[in-house]
Amino acid sequence: MRRSTVNTGLAGLILTALCLTGNAIAADVPQPSAQEKLAELTHQVEETERAFAKTMADRDLAAFASFVSSEAVFMSGHTPLRGKSAVVKRWKALYEKPTAPFSWEPEQVQVLDSGGLALSTGPVRDPNGKPVGTFTSIWRREAGGKWQIIFDSGCEACSCR
């Protein structure tokens, strides 16, 4: 009986030492700052928006749909498109033509400090590269870190002179 108490005590001591060693090693690993985390998330959203726009250039409607949340609301004209199926159904005609009718790219991206939502905005260009409007998209980071578009709005360029 005494021998098992000694073995149990020794096992506990070894386990405690291993935990302390593990914590010391973890403490030596530099953790990214809040600013670095935000910069990384911002970069992720920029790259996600670029990949989303590339679906238009590639004429890949299925890839486009993969970025759209099931809850998405796209502000298109006077009647918003609500839900992924409505968005994809309306955008399908834009993907059927042999050449893209427009392109877009993020110019500004902002991510909430919490890292869960982001806004991207930038120019929309005609096939010749002429700016014809702007877009604004709101992205939500889903489980697993994937960004999905939940709100999108575009408007024609105005000539404010």
Q: Containing domain of residue 128, as a range? A: 34-156
Q: What is the CATH number of the domain that holds 53?
A: 3.10.450.50
47 and 92 part of one domain: yes
Dihedral, CA atoms, 104, 109, 115, 117, nearest 10 degrees?
Answer: -50
Q: What is the separation of C-alpha 141 from the centre of its chain, rounded to a whole number of angstroms?
A: 5
Is 80 exceeded by the pLDDT of residue 115? yes
> For position 161, what pLDDT does the model report?
46
pTM equals 0.78
Kindly give the pairing relationship between strand 147-156 and strand 68-75.
parallel
Q: What pLDDT is recorded for position 30? A: 82
- Interval 76-91: pLDDT, tens: 778 999 999 999 999 9
Spatial contact of 133 and 157, defined as CB atoms under 8 Å apart:
yes
pLDDT of residue 156: 86
Per-residue pLDDT at 18: 44
The reply to whether 108 and 128 lie within a common domain is: yes
pLDDT of 104 over the 50 cut: yes
